[in-house]
Amino acid sequence: MLALAVAAGDAAAVVGPPPLTHRFIEFGSKRKSEMAAYARRHYGLNTYKLVRPHVIVEHYTATTTFSAAYNTFAIDAPDSELHELPGTCSHFIVDRDGTIYQLVHLGIMCRHTVGLNYTAFGIEHVGMSDGDVMGDRKQLQASLRLTRWLRCRYGIAVKNVIGHNESLGSRYHHENVARLRNQTHGDMRHATMNRYRSRLSRLACG
Give tens-digit pLDDT for 17-69: 999 999 999 999 999 999 999 999 999 999 999 999 999 999 999 999 999 99
Percent of the chain's residues with pLDDT above 90: 92
- How far apart, in whole angstroms, are the C-alpha atoms of residue 139 and residue 148? 14
Over residues 68-80, the mean pLDDT reads 96
pLDDT-derived band at 186, boundaries 50, 70, 90: very high
Q: Are 31 and 172 contacting, i.e. CB atoms less than 8 angstroms apart?
A: no
Counting other chains too, the contacts that 16-20 makes at CB distance below 8 Å and 24 or more residues apart are: 16/149, 17/146, 17/149, 18/100, 18/142, 18/145, 18/146, 18/149, 19/100, 20/100, 20/101, 20/102
pLDDT in tens, 120-129: 999 999 999 9
Cα Rg of the chain (Å, integer): 16
pLDDT-derived band at 15, boundaries 50, 70, 90: confident
Q: Read off the pTM.
A: 0.93
CA atoms 200, 201, 203, 206: torsion sign: positive
